[in-house]
Structures are given as C-alpha cells and as structure tokens.
C-alpha cells in the first residue's frame, strides 16, 4: 500500500466517525481492502517477475501490507483509544481481522463454486462474492453494535 492510500484510509475512517459509523464497521472494509491489495500485489509480482519463487514472498507481502496500515494507525492514535473495544479487542484491529476473514471467505466461496459447477453463473461473479461477504458481515456487526 502506498502512503497516499494509507492516508486516504485514515481520512476515510475519520469521515466515517463524523458520519457516526462505528469504527468496527469501517474497519471491516479496511481489512477487506488490505487483503485485496495484498492479492493484487502478489499477482503483480507474478507477472512482473515470473521466474521469482513467489511462494516464499506470500507471507511477508501480507505482513507488510498490514503493517503499512497498522503502524500509521498506531502513530496517529487511531488504534488504542480507551473504551473503543469490543470483546476486549480494539474495534479497528478486530474489524480489520474480521473484514479480512470475510473477504477471504468470499474469495474461497467463488473458487469453490467455480470448481464444483465448472462454470461462472453471472458476470463479475469474482467480485460479487467477496463484496457480498463484506456487506453481510457489515450488516451482522451493525446489528450487534446497534443493540
């Protein structure tokens, strides 16, 4: 993630706070964005340097992408706000973890469907499943935090 992207994510979080959107819900989408950008970066590296043994770089790529977000959040004071927790975990950290898991579940659901039925049912299905997973997760946690 570029520094501009990180600043944009932080600004988006600030705007969502002004609009009254819970940090957990916003962080779910941030987590999905980080994981998605990790996949995009890995695909870009595969195309740019096809002879590179990329399997050794998967884990470091994911770690770096998350650090590029968590470090500015911590330095900015966005993470670690007292009483901004759920289940004893900072809402932003929890949301990023949940959002990443939801996006991964959506990606795996799409891959499973393609293998099982050996076809694509509708255009942009590859995008639909991950986004639907994030929407459903956001709605579930909205209902949990609204109560």
17-45 residue pLDDT tens: 777 788 898 899 889 888 988 888 888 88
Q: DSSP labels for 22-88? A: -HHHHHHHHHHHHHHHHHHHHHHHHHH-TTS-GGGTHHHHHHHHHHHHHHHHHHHT-S--TT-EETT
Task: Inform me whether the pLDDT recorded for 14 exceeds 70.
Answer: no
Least confident of 48-52, 102-106, 132-136: 48-52
Task: Inform me whether the pLDDT recorded for 12 exceeds 70.
Answer: no
Read off the pTM.
0.82
Greater confidence (12 vs 70) lies with 70
């Amino acid at each position: 993630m570029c520094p501009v992207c990180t600043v944009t994510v932080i600004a988006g979080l600030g705007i969502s706070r002004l609009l009254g959107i819970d940090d957990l819900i916003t962080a779910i989408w941030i987590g999905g964005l980080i994981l998605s950008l990790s996949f995009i970066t890995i695909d870009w590296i595969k195309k740019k340097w096809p002879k590179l043994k990329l399997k050794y770089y998967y884990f470091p790529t994911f770690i770096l992408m998350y650090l590029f977000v968590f470090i500015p959040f911590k330095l900015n004071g966005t993470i670690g706000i007292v009483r901004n927790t759920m289940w004893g975990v900072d809402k932003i950290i929890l949301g990023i973890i949940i959002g990443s898991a939801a996006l991964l579940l959506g990606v795996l659901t799409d891959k499973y469907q393609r293998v099982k039925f050996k076809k694509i049912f509708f255009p942009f299905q590859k995008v639909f499943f991950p986004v639907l997973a994030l929407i459903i997760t956001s709605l579930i946690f909205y209902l949990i935090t609204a109560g």
